């Protein structure tokens, strides 16, 4: 799908009948493409502290940091990983650090978690910008893939370098890792052109998973003045993402953040269970806040008709 086509589909008002038709078409496409199979993922936020990335949409940003600082020790992460994967439902377990993470400690953590969880569960990283050599080391330690994103208005709403973000994506792909990507974090102020470019980037580098994520405003957020998008708008963007990614041979799933049944009936077949720290949550233990559990999400996926 061409950029102008994506922009045109995103420009339709979210409650217009044409938007619903796009969502229905994307749902049918994804069910055929993914054989109507769900993909349930889990993430452990292993640490949180004031981050120099200063992302205006993140509770971890220096200057607006509102989440109690916390770092899980390795035994605690391993224990959580064992509990998280014990139900045999997860396709992958994600380990999320801060942008400026401790590389030697992460390698030890990867090795410990990989030994502890079933071979059937893939290990994925959600970390800061990283050179190719480190990605290769993580892959050798048992890492399957990585979530890394060039966010909407990167370098404007963040202090991070868009060129470095793309360089990291290229590096993890060169290291042989699967790439998990997302158009995020979407607010009402983002233009259809911006979203189209973000969606197309996933196809350019061959993402294993594409997704759309709505921004969640936290108390004191500099972006709260713009509000948040509706669930219908998020489902529409999910649908357009699915349609625009049809020609990506690497694609294996479409995810939605936060989990929502409208999007799971609009082209998404994947959601994330979460524990530990999370950038959308002022609670250091997101499972007691916005985070959803494995059983809850399995029920949502079933209700959406995903096997």
CATH number at residue 202: 3.20.20.70
According to the model, what pLDDT value does residue 218 have?
Answer: 85
Domain that holds residue 197: 3-298
Calculate the average pLDDT of the chain: 93
Q: Is the pLDDT of residue 288 over 50?
A: no
According to the model, what pLDDT value does residue 289 have?
Answer: 45
Structural contact between residues 47 and 71, judged by C-beta atoms closer than 8 angstroms: yes
307 in a structural domain: no
Q: Is 28 left (phi over 0), alpha (psi -120 to 50) or beta?
A: alpha
Q: Is the pLDDT of residue 193 over 60?
A: yes
303 in a structural domain: no
306 in a structural domain: no
43 in a structural domain: yes
The number of domains in the chain is 1
Question: Quick one: average pLDDT of 278-282?
Answer: 54
According to the model, what pLDDT value does residue 189 have?
Answer: 98
According to the model, what pLDDT value does residue 20 have?
Answer: 98
For residue 63, give Cα distances in angstroms to 59, 66, 284, 285: 10, 9, 17, 21
304 in a structural domain: no
10 in a structural domain: yes
In this prediction, residue 279 has a pLDDT band, given cuts at 50, 70 and 90, of: low
- The first and second tokens of residue 91, run together, are 């396709």
Q: Is the pLDDT of residue 70 over 70?
A: yes
Structural contact between residues 243 and 9, judged by C-beta atoms closer than 8 angstroms: yes
Q: Is the pLDDT of residue 290 over 90?
A: no
Q: Pick 287 or 94 by higher pLDDT.
A: 94
Question: Quick one: average pLDDT of 162-186?
Answer: 98
Q: b or e along 22-42 (b: 16 or more beta carbons within 10 Å of the residue's beta carbon)?
A: bbebbbebbbebbeeebbbbb
Q: How many CA atoms lie within 13 A of 270 on its CB side?
A: 24
305 in a structural domain: no
CA 170: distance to chain centroid? 18
Question: Quick one: average pLDDT of 122-143?
Answer: 98
185 in a structural domain: yes
Q: Pick 65 or 111 by higher pLDDT.
A: 111
- For residue range 9-63, what is the model confidence (pLDDT) as tens digits? 999 999 999 999 999 999 999 999 999 999 999 999 998 888 889 999 988 888 7
């Amino acid at each position: 799908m061409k950029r102008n086509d994506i922009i045109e589909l995103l420009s339709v008002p979210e409650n217009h009948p044409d938007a619903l038709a796009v969502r229905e078409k994307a749902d049918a496409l994804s069910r055929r493409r993914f054989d109507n199979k769900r993909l349930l993922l889990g993430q452990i936020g292993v640490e949180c502290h004031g981050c120099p990335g200063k992302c205006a949409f993140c509770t971890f940003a220096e200057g607006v940091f509102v989440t109690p600082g916390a770092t899980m020790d390795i035994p605690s992460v391993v224990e959580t990983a064992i509990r998280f994967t014990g139900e045999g439902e997860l396709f992958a377990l994600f380990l999320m650090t801060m942008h400026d993470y401790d590389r030697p400690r992460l390698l030890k953590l990867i090795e410990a978690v990989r030994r502890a969880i079933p071979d059937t569960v893939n290990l994925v990283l959600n970390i800061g910008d990283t050179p190719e050599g480190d990605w290769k080391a993580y892959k050798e330690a048992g890492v399957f893939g990585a979530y890394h994103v060039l966010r909407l208005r990167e370098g404007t709403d963040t202090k991070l370098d868009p060129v470095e973000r793309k360089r990291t994506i290229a590096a993890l792909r060169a290291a042989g890792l699967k790439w998990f990507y997302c158009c995020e974090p979407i607010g009402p102020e983002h233009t259809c052109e911006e979203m189209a470019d973000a969606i197309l980037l996933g196809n350019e580098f061959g993402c294993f998973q594409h997704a759309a994520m709505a921004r969640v405003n936290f108390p004191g957020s500099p972006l709260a003045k713009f509000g948040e998008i509706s669930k219908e708008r998020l489902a529409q963007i999910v649908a357009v993402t699915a349609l625009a990614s049809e020609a990506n041979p690497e694609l294996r799933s479409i995810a939605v953040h936060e989990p929502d049944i409208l999007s799971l009936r609009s082209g998404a077949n994947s959601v994330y269970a979460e524990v530990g720290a999370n950038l959308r949550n002022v609670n250091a233990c997101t499972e007691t806040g916005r985070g959803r559990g494995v059983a809850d999400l399995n029920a949502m996926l079933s209700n959406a008709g995903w096997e």
